[in-house]
A and B are shown apart, each in its own frame.
Chain A
Amino acid sequence: MVLKITHLVKRYDPAGDAVLRDVSFEMAAGETLALEGESGSGKSTLLHLVAGLDRVTAGQIEVDGTDITTLSDAALAQMRRVVVGLVFQQFNLIPSLTVQSNIAFQARLAGRHDADWAAHLAQTIGLEAHLSSYPETLSGGQQQRVAIARALAAKPRLLLADEPTGNLDETTADAVLHLMLESAAETETALLMVTHSPRQAARMQRRLTLSHGVVSTRGPSEVAI
């Protein structure tokens, strides 16, 4: 299993309600999973916990066979560099670096930079003509494609995407999702994507719905890739 979550609980306020309550599920290599739910249901929190950006209150998260809940901050940072790829809704590219440097950034941090693979990704996202541009000169869709290429450049085992198409129009969103699914399939990368869009979710192999911190629905996607 690439991801195994067991009895996960997360509380921000020790005396308050849990944001996530007894969440458990697994993902296999190359599997795609949509995480749905209303605003405030805990989707992004779950993604952040899986990425090692935040700490659990209780339960276990195993990423690629390692229980990350016991790791130190430095080890979590190392895990993020090597095992996980992240795509955010706001793109969150590094404004001071060119498109090319942004794509290569994480892979180089992880010590896994493969120039041919990076070039292939750049070609795949259709931005090989903009490699020396800075992010702000690109459209939202282009920026998100750069963010996806950055996340995939290090060939992560698990790709985590937090509403990656939330800021994009429908056509661009479809293109971006297609790119993500295609690239993930090519590298056998498991994809866990938070989304509000049933249409987008339907294109994933599995769908999970979070409601008030509890996984309420699980099952195969209506539309297989």
Chain B
Amino acid sequence: MTRLGLGALLSHWRHNPWQLATLIAGLALATALWSGVQAINAEARVSYDRAADVVSGRGLAQITRVDGAKIRTEEYVSLRRTGWQVSPILEGEVQRGGRSVLLIGIEPMTLPGGEGTQDDEQSPLELEDTEGADVISAHPDDAAVFEGLDVTVRPDTARVPGRALADIAVAEDVLGRPDEISRLLVAPEQPLGLDPLPPTYRLTQTGDQTDVARLTESFHLNLTAFGLLSFAVGIFIVYGAVGLAFEQRRAVFRTLRALGLPLRRLMALLALELGVFALVAGALGVALGYLIAAALLPDVAATLRGLYGADISGQLRVRPAWWLSGLGMALAGTALAGAAALFKLARLPLLSFNHPRAMSMHADAAARWLALAAGGLFGMGAVIAIAGQGLFAGFGLLACLLIGAAFCLPLTLSAALRLAGRWHHGPLAEWFWADSRQQLPGLSMALMALLLAMAANIGVSTMVSSFRLTFTGYLDQRLSSELYLTTSSPGQAEAVTRYLDDTGATVLPIVWQDLRIGGLPAEIYGIRDHTTYRENWPLLQAVPQVWDRLAAGEGALINEQLSRRLALNPGDTLETGDRVLGVYSDYGNAAGQVVISETAFKARYPQIETLRFGVRTADPDTLAAALRERFDLREDALINQADLKAFSLSVFERTFAVTTALNILTLAVAALALLIGLLTLASLRLPQLAPVWALGLTPRHLAGMELLRAVALAAVTGLLAVPLGLALAWVLLAIVNVEAFGWRLPMFLFPAEYARLGALTLVAAVLAAAWPALRLSRTPPDRLLRVFSNER
């Protein structure tokens, strides 16, 4: 009985292969986008962990000098002698051919528990080869940086790109910094009765998470949110396909039950059928997700490098965790989408008949319930907006807004179609609008998916375009020096500045020191009092006479990120002891920044040499050529403003390349949903269309009306997506971005972009409707006649 029942159920899919393809494609796409994002996140997290092992030590405390100076070897030895179980780390950049690698020197003998040298997936580090030569372990892409040095480079794909490891003695040689230690790692186990740390040192407890992981958390949450949105859009397709298959098989269900198949067995068979589809589609989806992740990973890596300085491996590995997560999501999504069908089956009376209009009326009731649920979601969103805090609250608000709006769609569309029906007179128009309302239940899921995808597109494009506009203006303000110069030594710096003074150019030193504020990495800059800053810096808030007071050393300017993160405003005091005089916008940088006067900086960090300068000149090309000729500068030592802006903008563009790509994929999925919905409906339409044909309309005329209907529904959905998209943009700009990146941007409107997206959606709707319409226009009369009689 079970086998026969299953055979009867499966025969539906054999006769409707397109519907099966729809179901599998929808679920596979949903899983693919979700698991693709998870693959990227998983890869990034593994990279952070590896980086954390060598950079800061996972969960290990660190010792640095309070004055920011390097620790000398004798200081390290002295601390060891007093019982401190510490291990030295020396870090420095090695540059060649425009590529920069952070070389990290470690002392394997004293490294706490070997933590820094290997993790569960990374190959063990051997810092000497079999012949005793010095070894640098680096990612294969970084090996070229060390060419020509008297060391053996051991390429290792498991290494994080941009970071290489070596024994500290080798690092000292390569970096040319003997007797220097950047910081000391503190072993978790320390002897009892240890002498307190001398006041010249600072002990920093690193949390369980690394700095990079904490800084990038919001970025990954953003990606996850987009993955979920794409998944939701895909699940709408699955819901639509499962629901329609249920409606089409009502008669089969009734017959099977009438023939003696128990309801529970029938439900179990249906669940089994869906489970098998979910596993097949899930496996396909995870495989497709791998390809998507592999395609997007380089952009993500570039984004994380540009925005956070985080290096992640560009190589994707198959990890069981996201395979299982992908399959789990496919099963969960199918269960969600199939639950309604199973519920209906459980309540299906043995004797019930399909009445299209009755189905439409049930759908009206369902639409009213959905609208009520939407009201609840909007209410919840309002509560979150007022009382919620943090990134999760931001995403919670977004979810309430988007799902609520999607739930409102069937009722709104129904009302819009009823209104349109009142405006248009004539039998065809009347039938067209009434019939369109009747088609809504079959199409509403696809239209919801379209609404979400379009709103996401409008929202994200508004955010990105607003950001681009603001960022371009910001770069014009911030990068006001015509040339940016990096000298190789204090001697060269002195010679160059003297020459520049002689030529009449204005020299603006760029000097900074890394520090930690609020437990996170930050930078403190010293700037010279000059009209360049006074006229150009984008101050968001400031005390009166801010520049005069800054020059007088009365306080500091801080960037917006730091201001928001630590809730600091002008008048407050930083943990460095500086009074906040103003807050400036600082886009494209996740870390906190403090600006004090050059004089105050030099007094606080006398050991920091000034090696970088901004140069104001009326003729940058001539001056750049003269500087190169006179001072034998490296190619990358002198950068003009235009190049720097172009570089910054390229970082910006890559930052949003991933979200844009996910957006386009989501829209494509929604268009597919519409195509699938229309194709499936087309098979059910003949009984409704044949009488109209018999009463005097040609199939071509009817096909044209079907096309028009798809365009009209997509157009109304598109119009509704505009306010929703703008609300989404507002939440992204005013809440999510502030939480994620620490800055708030002004919102601009881009009507031309929305019009282009609208046109694209209409084209997608026409394309989606074209095939079913073409099939209808070519329907032979005998197929239409079968509606009226089975007899010839």
Q: Is B784 at the interface (CB under 8 A from chain A)?
A: yes
Q: Is B690 at the interface (CB under 8 A from chain A)?
A: yes
Per the bound structure, the CA–CA distance linking A14 and B360 in Å amounts to 42
Q: Is B788 at the interface (CB under 8 A from chain A)?
A: yes
Per the bound structure, the CA–CA distance linking A35 and B699 in Å amounts to 28
Q: Is B403 at the interface (CB under 8 A from chain A)?
A: no
The one of A104, A108, A134 that contacts B357, using a Cβ cutoff of 8 Å: A134
B437 touches A96 (CB 8 A): yes
A96 touches B696 (CB 8 A): no
Chain A residues with CB below 8 A from B431, complex form: 94, 96-97, 101, 105
Stretch of B60-68, B235-243, B422-430, B530-538 with 4 or more beta carbons under 8 angstroms from chain A: B422-430
The 0/1 profile, CB within 8 Å of B marked 1, for residues 36-80 of chain A is 000110111100100101110000000000000000011001101
B355 touches A86 (CB 8 A): no
CB of B705 to closest CB in A, whole Å: 13
| CB within 8 Å for A106 and B791 given contacts A77-B701, A96-B435, A97-B430 | no
CB of A181 to closest CB in B, whole Å: 22
Chain B residues with CB below 8 A from A108, complex form: 426-427
Per the bound structure, the CA–CA distance linking A96 and B438 in Å amounts to 6
B701 touches A48 (CB 8 A): no
Chain A residue nearest to B788 in the complex (CB):
A88
Q: Is B321 at the interface (CB under 8 A from chain A)?
A: no
B695 touches A86 (CB 8 A): yes
Q: Is A95 at the interface (CB under 8 A from chain B)?
A: yes
The 0/1 profile, CB within 8 Å of B marked 1, for residues 76-116 of chain A is 01101110001011101111110001001110111000000
B691 touches A92 (CB 8 A): yes
Q: Is B358 at the interface (CB under 8 A from chain A)?
A: yes
A136 touches B434 (CB 8 A): no
What DSSP secondary structure best describes chain B's contact surface? helix
Chain A residues with CB below 8 A from B701, complex form: 77
| CB within 8 Å for A136 and B785 given contacts A73-B700, A86-B695 | no
B788 touches A12 (CB 8 A): no
The one of B437, B438, B695, B784 that contacts A80, using a Cβ cutoff of 8 Å: B695
Chain A residues with CB below 8 A from B438, complex form: 95-96
**Among residues 283 to 317 in chain B, which have CB atoms less than 8 Å away from a CB atom of chain A?**
none
B698 touches A73 (CB 8 A): yes
Chain B residue nearest to A72 in the complex (CB):
B698
CB of B442 to closest CB in A, whole Å: 13
The one of B355, B700, B788, B792 that contacts A92, using a Cβ cutoff of 8 Å: B788
Which of B428, B431, B696, B699 lies at the interface centre, i.e. has the most chain A CB atoms within 10 A of its CB? B696
Chain B residue nearest to A75 in the complex (CB):
B698
Q: Is A141 at the interface (CB under 8 A from chain B)?
A: no
The one of A45, A74, A78, A95 that contacts B792, using a Cβ cutoff of 8 Å: A45
B788 touches A77 (CB 8 A): no
Per the bound structure, the CA–CA distance linking A53 and B430 in Å amounts to 24
Q: Is B632 at the interface (CB under 8 A from chain A)?
A: no
**Among residues 328 to 387 in chain B, which have CB atoms less than 8 Å away from a CB atom of chain A?**
355-358, 360
CB of B513 to closest CB in A, whole Å: 74
Q: Is B204 at the interface (CB under 8 A from chain A)?
A: no
The one of A51, A89, A104, A135 that contacts B427, using a Cβ cutoff of 8 Å: A104
Q: Is A19 at the interface (CB under 8 A from chain B)?
A: yes
Chain A residues with CB below 8 A from B427, complex form: 101, 104-106, 108-109
Per the bound structure, the CA–CA distance linking A54 and B782 in Å amounts to 7
The one of A73, A81, A90 that contacts B695, using a Cβ cutoff of 8 Å: A81
Q: Is A162 at the interface (CB under 8 A from chain B)?
A: yes
Chain B residue nearest to A163 in the complex (CB):
B789
Chain A residues with CB below 8 A from B692, complex form: 94
A44 touches B791 (CB 8 A): yes
Which of B426, B693, B700, B789 lies at the interface centre, i.e. has the most chain A CB atoms within 10 A of its CB? B789
A86 touches B694 (CB 8 A): yes
B791 touches A53 (CB 8 A): no
The one of A42, A80, A109 that contacts B428, using a Cβ cutoff of 8 Å: A109
Per the bound structure, the CA–CA distance linking A86 and B688 in Å amounts to 16
B355 touches A95 (CB 8 A): yes
A96 touches B434 (CB 8 A): yes
**Among residues 744 to 792 in chain B, which have CB atoms less than 8 Å away from a CB atom of chain A?**
781-782, 784-785, 787-789, 791-792
B697 touches A136 (CB 8 A): no
Chain B residue nearest to A97 in the complex (CB):
B434
A136 touches B358 (CB 8 A): yes
CB of B787 to closest CB in A, whole Å: 7
A12 touches B357 (CB 8 A): no
Chain A residues with CB below 8 A from B697, complex form: 77, 109
CB of A6 to closest CB in B, whole Å: 21
CB of B745 to closest CB in A, whole Å: 48
Per the bound structure, the CA–CA distance linking A19 and B784 in Å amounts to 18
Could you write out 5 A-B pairs with CB less than 8 Å apart?
A54-B785, A80-B695, A96-B688, A106-B695, A162-B789
In the A-B complex, the 8 residue pairs with the smallest Cβ-Cβ separation, listed nearest first, are A81-B696, A108-B427, A96-B434, A92-B691, A95-B357, A80-B696, A96-B438, A136-B355
12 new A-B pairs (CB below 8 Å) besides A96-B437, A97-B430?
A: A44-B791, A48-B785, A53-B781, A80-B696, A94-B431, A94-B434, A94-B435, A101-B427, A106-B696, A109-B428, A134-B357, A162-B788
State the B residues within 8 Å of A (CB). 355-358, 360, 426-428, 430-431, 434-435, 437-438, 688, 690-701, 781-782, 784-785, 787-789, 791-792
